[in-house]
Amino acid sequence: MGLIDLISIGRPEKFEQKADTYVGSGAYGKAKIEYEKALARLARRPDAPPGYRNQLEDKL
């Protein structure tokens, strides 16, 4: 993980979109990593929509 990754706090939706793109191209390993990043970011957001965590977990 680079310094930029440690400094920047992305939105879970951004990681989910990136993961969805990877799934579309068949890069499932990269997609899994992005979904996991989305879940980690989601854990830091108390204002997350209900059910969004389950939606991400289903994609894993």
Structural domain spans, the chain: 3-59
52/6 Cα distance (integer angstroms): 24
pLDDT at 13 over 70: yes
The pLDDT of residue 8: 53
Is the pLDDT assigned to residue 4 strictly greater than 60? no
Over the stretch 14-40, which tens digit does the pLDDT of each residue have?
999 999 999 999 999 999 999 999 999
Tokens of 37: 């990043």
Average pLDDT, the chain: 85
pTM recorded for the entire structure: 0.78
What string of DSSP letters covers the chain?
A: --HHHHH----HHHHHHHHHHHHHTT-HHHHHHHHHHHHHHHHT-TTPPTTHHHHHHHH-
Question: What pLDDT sits at residue 39?
Answer: 93
